[in-house]
Chains A and B, each alone.
Chain A
Amino acid sequence: MRTPKGVVLWVGAACAGVLLVLGVGAALQYWAAAPENRPHLVEVVAEGLPVVFFGTAMLMVFAGMAASWLFRRHPHAARQLAEQSRSLLAAESGFRVSTAGAPPLVELAAAINQLADAYHRIEHDLEARSVETRARVEEERDRFVALMSELSQGVVVCNADGRILLYNPRAAALLAPSESGRHGDYTPLGLGRSVLALLDRQQVVHALDMLQHQIGHVDRPQARFVASAANGALLRVQVAPFLGAERKLAGMVFALDDVGQLMGRESQRLRLLQSLATGVRAPVANLRAATENLVSFPDMPADRREQFVEIAAAEARVLTERLNAALLANADALKGSLTLEDMRAVDLLAVAQRRIAEALQLPVAIEDADAELWLRVDSYAIAQAMTFLAARLAGDYDLHGFRLRAGGGGNFGEIDLVWTGAIVGSDALSLWEGEPMRIGKEETPLTLRDVLERHGAEAWLQVDKIRQISRFRLLLPRGQAVAPVAHRTSTAADSRPEYYDFDLFEHIGGVGELADRKLAELAYTVFDTETTGLEPSAGDEIISIGAVRIVNGRVLKQEVFEQLVNPRRPISRESTAVHGIDGKQVAGEPPIGQVLPRFHRFCEDTVLVAHNAAFDMRFLELKEASTGVRFGQPVLDTLLLSAVVHPSVDNHHLDMIAERVGVRVIGRHTALGDALLTADVFLRLVPLLAERGIVTLGQALEASRATYHSRLQY
C-alpha cells in the first residue's frame, strides 16, 4: 500500500514536537541554574550527550510510530469509511462497509451497515410495492410494442425538435441501409437522433411548416410527401402533429409506406396508355385514309384499288402487332387496381376459413396450401365471394363441411372450395355468378362476376364423379412476395428491444452549450476498440470497434455499432490472445477508411465515453489525416471519472470499477462487450459524481483533468 501523504506529515509533526519539548526543557533548566553553575551544567550535559541523543532518537521513533498508527486508525480509516459509505447507495444491496480503524470507527462502520440494512429493507419494500404497478405498466408497454411491431406501416415519432422518440421494426426495415451500401455512409435510425437525417431534410422542414400553418386552422392537420430514403427506397410519408399545452406542436408522427412497387405499376399503366394512344393513331390513320379513298372514289383504276387494299391489310397487321406488343410489355399494369394487395394464399385461405365457418356453422378445413404462393387480391371481396358460394351450396344441398386448397403455377394461382357428396349442376355457377352476393342478412350489390372481373379472374366447377369430390376453382392473379419485416437480431440477448423513449419529450434544444448540460440528460456513445497491438505510433491498427448509445440515462442495447476492421497488417499473437481476433477473421472486412465515416455518423450529436479513452482516441486521431474523419466531440474517460469518485483507490481497471459500483461483468474483451460494460459502469458513476457536486459535462471534464491519472501519457 502506498504511504499516504498524511502519515508523513503526522510523523514529521510528532518528531518536531519531541525536539521542541526537549529543547524547551533544556533551555528552562539552563536559565533556572545559578550563573556560576551553568558551565558545570553544560559540562554534565556534554558528558551525557550520547545518552541524550539516543533517548531523543528513541523518543522520536516512538512518537512517529504512534503518529502513523493513529493516522491509519483514525483520519485515513474515517475517510475510507466515508468513501465506502457513498458507494453503499449506488452498489448492489450485498455490499457493506468495513474498516481496520479504531474501535469507535469499527462501531461507526457497524452503525453504517445497520443503516444500510434498514435502507435496503425499505428499498426492498418499496420495490415490492412498485412491482405490481410496474407489471401493469409493462404489460401495457408490451402490448403497445407488440402492436407497433405488427404494423405493416413504418412509424416514427419525434418531438418538436425532430428527435426520434419511437420507431417500429417496420420503419427500421424501411430505413435500413441497403445491402450494397453496407459499408457506405448512412445515418442509422435511432432514438434521440434527428429525423431530418433520415429523409430529405427540405421535405421534412416543408412538412413541418405546413403543419405549423395548419394548426389552429384545420381540423386534422397533416402533410404528405413522397421521399426517397438513403437506401434508395421510395417512401410515401404521411406526417401528423400532436399538440401539447396551448395547442402548440409537441411532436410529429411519420407514417411510412414503401411505394416503389405501386409507383412502378402506376407508371407502367401510364406507359401502356401512352403507347396505345400514340402507337395506334398512325396505323389507324393510314388504314382510314386508304379505305376512305376506296369508298370515295369507286371509279379508281384497278391497280390503285389493289394498292389501297394492300395498304389497308398491311396497316391492320401493324395495328395488331402494336397492340399486342404494348399489352405484353405492360402486362403487369393490367393486373389490378391499387385496391388489390399482395398477400399469401395461405393467409387468404385462413380468412376465408374463419368467415365461412362463422357464417355457416360448418367445419371448414385447409387441406393443402402452397406456402410460397402469393396472390394479388382484394382479400375482403374474395373471402366474401367464397363465403357466398359456400352459403349457396350449403343452402341448396345437404353438405357437412368444406375443405380449402391453394396451389397452381404460372401467372395465376388456384383457390379451391372443395366438398364431398352432392353433385352440383354446372349451370348453378353461371346462375349464382350474376346474383348479388347475400350471406345471411349481409348483402352487397356486388356479384361474384363483378369480383372476378375486378381481379381479371375466372371461376369454374370441377367434378370428380367417381370419387364424389367437387370443387369450385377460382383462378386469381399471382402477386409478388412482400419481403417480411426484418427483425433486428438482438446483440444483448436478455434485453427487450428498445424502440422508444417518451422521456425525450422533455428535452428541448440542440447540442448548444454542452458544457452546461447535465450529465444525466446528455446522449453518449460509449465505445471500445481492439487493436493489433499497444503502440499506435509504431503502426498498430484498429481491428474492431464496438459502441452503444446512452440516451436519457438508458443504454440502448438495440442500437449498437459492431464492426471488424481489416488492419492490412499482421495481428500479433499476444493481442490475438487478448481479444481472440486473428488475421483470417478480418480478411474480408472493410478497411478503417470505410469504417470510420460510418462510426462517425453513429456518434453524431453525442459525447464520447471510453475506458482509458486516451488510448482509443490516440488511434482515432492518427487516422484523422488519412480518413478526413475527425472526432471533435467531448470525451469522458471512465478511468478518470472513477479516480474522481474514488481518489484513495489505486486500481482503476474496468473490472475493478465494475465490482466497486456493483456491475456484473460479462462478455469482456470484445469491443462491443467492453463498450456495454463501460456504459453500465458509466451510468453508475454519474450519481456518485453528483454526490461530489459534479453534475454538468463541464464539471466532469474539469474534474477529470484535475485527477492524477489524467497526467499519464499513452
Chain B
Amino acid sequence: MSEPRKVLIVDDEPNILTALEFLFKRSGYEVRLARDGGEALREADAWRPDVMLLDIMMPVKNGYEVCQTVRERPELAGVRIVMLSAKGSEAEINKGLSLGADRYVTKPFSTQELLATIDRLFEPGDAGKP
C-alpha cells in the first residue's frame, strides 16, 4: 500500500480545523494544521504536503498571499492548493484561480464533495488543472 497523502489544513477557526482534521484522518490522510498564513508557509516548507486546504481571510498572511508564495517556489511545485473560503463572488474565485489555486470551494461545502474534489486532483491528467 502506498503512503498516505499529506494534507495541510490552514484556517484561523478552530472549529473547522477540528472537523476537517477528523474528516481527513478518518479518510486515510496524514493531517497537519496551521492557524495563519505564516505558519502555513513554514509547514509547507518543512513538511511538503500533497494538498493545502487554504482559507482566505486569515491573520499574518491571507490565503491569496500564501497561494502566490507557494507557486513562486519551485521546490513546492507539486503541492495542490484548494481554497476554502467564505468569500465567494465570481471575482474572488477568479482571483484565487489566477493566483495558482487548483480548486476554489466556497463555504459552506459538503464534506463528501470536498473529499471527492481532492481525490479528483490526484487522478492522472487532472493534476494542477482547475
Q: How far is the CB of B82 from chain A (nearest CB, A)?
A: 13
Inter-chain contact B26/A311, CB cutoff 8 Å: no
Given A307-B18, A311-B15, A315-B15, A282-B23 contact (CB < 8 Å): no
Q: Is B107 an interface residue (CB 8 A)?
A: yes
Chain A interface size band reads 20 to 34
Inter-chain contact B108/A284, CB cutoff 8 Å: yes
Q: Which residues of B contact A307 (CB under 8 A)?
A: 18
Selected from B22, B86, B87, the residue in CB contact (under 8 A) with A285 is B86
Q: Is B45 an interface residue (CB 8 A)?
A: no
Chain B interface size band reads 20 to 34
Q: Which residues of A contact B22 (CB under 8 A)?
A: 293, 297, 300, 304, 308
Q: Which residues of B contact A300 (CB under 8 A)?
A: 22, 26
Q: How far is the CB of A703 from chain B (nearest CB, A)?
A: 71
Q: Is A32 an interface residue (CB 8 A)?
A: no
Closest B-chain residue to A307, C-beta based? Answer: B18
Q: How far is the CB of A222 from chain B (nearest CB, A)?
A: 32
Q: How far is the CB of A303 from chain B (nearest CB, A)?
A: 12
Inter-chain contact A286/B19, CB cutoff 8 Å: yes
Selected from B85, B108, B112, the residue in CB contact (under 8 A) with A296 is B112
Q: Is B68 an interface residue (CB 8 A)?
A: no
Inter-chain contact B107/A292, CB cutoff 8 Å: no
Inter-chain contact A285/B23, CB cutoff 8 Å: no
Q: Is A288 an interface residue (CB 8 A)?
A: yes
Q: How far is the CB of B63 from chain A (nearest CB, A)?
A: 13
Q: Is A156 an interface residue (CB 8 A)?
A: no
Closest B-chain residue to A279, C-beta based? Answer: B86
A296 to B85, CA, bound (A): 23
Contacting B at CB under 8 A, from A290-323, are: 290, 292-293, 296-297, 300, 304, 307-308, 311, 314-315
Inter-chain contact B111/A282, CB cutoff 8 Å: no
Q: How far is the CB of B83 from chain A (nearest CB, A)?
A: 13
Q: Which residues of B contact A286 (CB under 8 A)?
A: 13, 15-16, 19
Selected from B13, B23, B108, the residue in CB contact (under 8 A) with A293 is B23
Q: Is A248 an interface residue (CB 8 A)?
A: no
Selected from B19, B86, B87, the residue in CB contact (under 8 A) with A289 is B19
Inter-chain contact A293/B88, CB cutoff 8 Å: no
A286 to B106, CA, bound (A): 12
Inter-chain contact A290/B19, CB cutoff 8 Å: yes
Contact code string A265-289 (vs B, CB < 8 Å = 1, else 0): 0000000000001110110111111
Q: Is B99 an interface residue (CB 8 A)?
A: no
Closest B-chain residue to A274, C-beta based? Answer: B89
Closest B-chain residue to A318, C-beta based? Answer: B15
Selected from B19, B84, B106, B109, the residue in CB contact (under 8 A) with A308 is B19
Selected from A278, A279, A288, A304, the residue in CB contact (under 8 A) with B110 is A288
Contacting A at CB under 8 A, from B74-115, are: 84-88, 106-112
Q: Which residues of A contact B26 (CB under 8 A)?
A: 293, 296-297, 300
Q: How far is the CB of A289 from chain B (nearest CB, A)?
A: 4
Inter-chain contact A285/B88, CB cutoff 8 Å: no
Q: Which residues of B contact A292 (CB under 8 A)?
A: 23, 110-112
Q: Which residues of B contact A304 (CB under 8 A)?
A: 22
A307 to B21, CA, bound (A): 13
Q: Which of B20, B22, B26 has most A Cβ within 10 Å?
A: B22
Given A278-B87, A282-B86, A288-B15 contact (CB < 8 Å): no
Inter-chain contact B106/A289, CB cutoff 8 Å: no
Q: Which residues of B contact A315 (CB under 8 A)?
A: 15
A300 to B21, CA, bound (A): 14
6 closest cross-chain pairs (CB), A and B: A285-B107, A281-B86, A289-B19, A285-B108, A284-B108, A292-B111
By a beta-carbon cutoff of 8 Å, the part of chain A in contact with chain B is: 277-279, 281-282, 284-290, 292-293, 296-297, 300, 304, 307-308, 311, 314-315
14 contacts between A and B (CB under 8 A): A277-B88, A278-B87, A281-B85, A281-B107, A281-B108, A285-B108, A286-B13, A286-B16, A288-B109, A289-B108, A292-B23, A293-B22, A307-B18, A311-B19
